[in-house]
């Protein structure tokens, strides 16, 4: 099954809220934008085959550099053209023609040459001194930016989507923080002897012991330390629920509000699990589209873009720790 359909089906199958689905990575739109990029590069004579030839021809390091500049992460393709490459017979006529036009358009730029690796500059690019009588043995190199359009559209769209996901996550975290606070205050009421003749204090203490043992979203134990993925979290949440039933904790509640509070507690964990599932599927969509970008262009964006902007996935663990911390509240126990 193609990922685009798998992604769409997963968003529908998991029953995420409509506003979550609206904030999901628009994988289909990104695929269409990627086709435009591939076409644009081909029209410039810089399809993957041509870029591979440039890498083969280059004797002074990378034949091209693809990176993101500025606060808006503007994608930039820089060709490092050695002297004579524009007439190299190993390149197609279209590629040679485009490179020649590009060089002619940038005649005002200074030629640069790679220094001798044994020199003090350590292989850095340094300007050529026309008056120097030292024979230059290594090829001259000219660095020229390729004026592309559609890669900026692609990454602008992707960046905006990631920012939307982060905004949604912040909103969900604020809502969960408020809900956890309400639940904590409710549990305190159930353990205040001054208001109730009966208390479920020890039953809630046992329940939280089971919850910590379950380690649904994270573990601090040395043998399995770290965060859980959604598959592992689901299994551990199911174990927690079955263990609570097995121990008969619910049946021994003395206060009817405790049952309602437990349902709310379970609901919070289910929401955390759904958040984790939503984060994971969108992270997978980002990884897939970047992999497809590199396959269609060979520009290597996966090596840089994820480090620059990628949706934060720590919210679930942070909220799970906040939920667990209720066990240690002095006012509660």
- Output the pLDDT for position 321: 67
Rounded to 5°, angle at Cα 38 from 74 and 300 = 55
Q: pTM of the entire structure? A: 0.80
- Output the pLDDT for position 328: 58
Long-range contacts of 288-296 (CB under 8 A, 24+ apart): 288/3, 288/27, 289/25, 289/27, 289/30, 289/31, 289/34, 289/158, 292/31, 292/34, 293/34, 293/37, 293/154, 296/34, 296/37, 296/38, 296/48
Q: Where are the domains of the chain?
A: 161-328
If residue 140 lies in a helix (H) or strand (E), which one and from where to where? strand 140-146
Instruction: Give the β-pairing of 74-82 and 140-146.
Output: antiparallel
Per-residue pLDDT tens digits for 90-140:
999 999 999 998 888 876 544 444 433 334 343 344 444 545 444 445 567
d(CA 248, CA 298): 59
How does the average pLDDT of the chain come out, rounded?
Answer: 82
- Output the pLDDT for position 191: 64
Least confident span in 61-70, 285-294, 303-312: 303-312
Higher pLDDT, 279 or 127: 279
- Output the pLDDT for position 84: 84
Higher pLDDT, 191 or 153: 153
Any alpha helices (H) in the chain, and if so which ranges? 3-13, 18-23, 27-43, 48-57, 93-105, 150-189, 201-214, 230-246, 256-297, 305-308, 315-324
Positive or negative: CA dihedral 242, 248, 249, 251: positive
Q: Is the pLDDT of residue 73 over 80?
A: no
Query: Do 82 and 58 form a contact (C-beta atoms < 8 A)?
Result: yes
pLDDT confidence tier of residue 218, bands split at 50, 70 and 90: confident
Per-residue pLDDT tens digits for 194-207:
555 678 888 888 99
- Output the pLDDT for position 255: 86
């Amino acid at each position: 099954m193609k990922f685009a359909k798998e992604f769409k089906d997963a968003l529908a199958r998991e029953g995420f809220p409509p506003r979550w689905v609206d904030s999901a990575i628009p994988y289909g739109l990104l695929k269409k934008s990627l086709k435009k990029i591939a076409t644009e590069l081909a029209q410039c004579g810089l399809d993957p085959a041509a870029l591979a030839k440039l890498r083969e021809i280059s004797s002074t390091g990378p034949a091209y550099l693809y990176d993101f500049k500025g606060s808006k992460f503007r994608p930039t393709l820089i060709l490092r053209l050695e002297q004579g490459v524009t007439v190299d017979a190993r390149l197609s006529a279209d590629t040679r023609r485009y490179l020649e036009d590009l060089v002619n358009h940038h005649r005002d730029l200074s030629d640069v040459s790679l220094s001798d690796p044994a020199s003090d500059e350590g292989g850095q690019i340094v300007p050529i001194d026309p008056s120097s009588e030292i024979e230059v043995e290594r090829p001259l190199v000219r660095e020229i930016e390729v004026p592309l359009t559609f890669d900026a559209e692609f990454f602008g769209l992707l960046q905006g989507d990631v920012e939307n996901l982060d905004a949604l996550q912040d909103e969900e975290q604020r809502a969960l923080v408020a809900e956890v606070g309400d639940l904590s205050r409710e549990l305190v009421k159930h353990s205040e002897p001054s208001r109730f003749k009966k208390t479920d204090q020890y039953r809630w203490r046992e329940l939280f012991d089971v919850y910590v043992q379950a380690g649904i979203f994270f573990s601090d134990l040395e043998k399995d330390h770290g965060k859980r993925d959604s598959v592992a979290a689901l299994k551990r949440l199911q174990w927690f629920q079955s263990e609570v039933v097995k121990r008969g904790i619910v049946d021994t509640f003395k206060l009817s509000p405790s049952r309602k509070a437990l349902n709310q507690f379970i609901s919070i964990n289910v929401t955390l699990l759904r958040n984790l599932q939503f984060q994971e599927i969108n992270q997978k969509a980002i990884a897939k589209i970047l992999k497809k970008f590199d396959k269609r262009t060979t520009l290597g964006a996966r090596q840089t873009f994820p480090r620059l902007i990628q949706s934060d996935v720590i919210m679930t663990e942070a909220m799970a720790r906040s939920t667990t911390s209720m066990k240690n509240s002095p006012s509660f126990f």
